[in-house]
Each structure stands twice: as structure tokens, then as C-alpha cells.
């Protein structure tokens, strides 16, 4: 019987894109998993916002595998074990973490909008719809390099807003 991964393929990370609903700095990592009581082992890749280093990746892996084992529903499914291997694969995807600036909704000739600012890089924009992906970056942040959040350090070429 083939061994199924902890998470279905739709929820796992591919090399092309991350997964998940949150939009902050993420950490890509691999964990070594095996069948409980067996000698087999394999690596599974993940991309999670709550993981920041090897210690938190290890804690996340142990908690996730325990949750998987506690919720096994298939009759032939075998419990998993965390073998102990953790590999950090890089910084992960970096999406802007937008927060609303104004108390009330504003309007202009294009419609109603909210002013938004990234918590980390301070880029600003307008959200004309609901959700994180509806934010249109302001003129100083239109360049391609601002499509993904550069992090806490703000580039000196960005204009300061008064």
C-alpha cells in the first residue's frame, strides 16, 4: 500500500508558489517523516508563516504529526512519526502585510477605497475591494521590486508621505 503524505497535494508547497491564506513573511522548510514502527522515511516540504527558525519548524512538525495521528480516519492509514530531520530551504514567500490606515471608507472618482500600509516595509496603497489582493500600490511603490515585500528595511528611493 502506498504511503500517503501528511497533507494532500493541494495543500502542499510546490516549487512555483506557496500555499496558505495568511500574507506575511514565510519560511520554507522540509521535515523528515516516517511510518510509526517502520524503518521508512521521506521528506515533505512546507511553507508556513508561523515558522521562523529550525526550533519552531521542529515544534510545528511534532504538533502537526501528532494532530495527524489523532485524526486518522481511513481504516488502512498508518500513524506517522517525526524522524527528526529539519531542513530550512530559504526565506519563503514574502507578501505585503497590509493594514488599514483610515477609520472610515474614503471615495474618489474611481469609487470607494481604504488607505492601506504594509506593516513591514511601509509601502502604501488603496484597496478598492475586500481582501489583501485588492490593494493598488501608490506611485512611489509601483516598481516591480515592490511587488513582493522587501522586509523591514525601506528602500531610500521610496518617497516619504506627509
Task: For residue range 52-90, list pLDDT tens digits in order.
Answer: 778 888 899 999 999 999 998 888 888 999 988 888 887
Residue ranges of the chain with per-residue pLDDT less than 50: 8-24, 153-162
Q: 39-50: buried (b, 16+ CB within 10 Å) or exposed (e) per residue?
A: eeeeebebbbbe
The CB-based long-range contact list for 96-101 (8 Å cut-off, 24+ gap) reads 96/23, 96/120, 96/121, 96/123, 96/132, 96/135, 96/148, 96/149, 97/23, 97/24, 97/149, 98/23, 98/125, 98/127, 98/132, 98/135, 100/127
Amino acid at each position: 500500500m502506498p504511503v500517503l503524505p501528511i497533507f494532500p497535494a493541494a495543500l502542499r508547497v510546490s516549487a512555483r508558489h506557496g500555499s496558505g491564506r495568511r500574507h506575511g513573511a514565510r519560511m520554507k522548510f522540509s521535515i523528515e517523516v516516517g511510518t510509526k514502527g517502520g524503518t521508512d522515511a521521506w521528506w515533505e516540504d512546507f511553507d508556513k508563516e508561523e515558522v521562523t527558525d529550525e526550533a519552531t519548524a521542529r515544534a510545528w512538525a511534532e504538533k502537526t504529526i501528532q494532530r495527524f495521528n489523532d485524526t486518522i480516519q481511513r481504516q488502512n492509514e498508518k500513524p506517522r512519526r517525526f524522524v527528526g530531520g529539519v531542513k530550512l530551504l530559504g526565506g519563503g514567500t514574502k507578501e505585503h502585510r497590509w493594514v488599514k490606515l483610515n477609520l472610515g471608507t474614503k471615495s474618489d472618482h474611481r469609487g470607494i477605497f481604504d488607505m492601506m500600509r504594509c506593516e513591514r516595509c511601509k509601502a502604501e496603497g488603496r484597496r478598492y475591494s475586500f481582501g489583501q489582493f485588492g490593494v493598488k500600490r501608490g506611485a512611489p511603490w509601483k516598481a516591480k521590486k515592490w511587488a513582493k515585500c522587501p522586509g523591514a528595511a525601506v528602500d531610500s528611493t521610496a518617497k516619504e508621505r506627509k
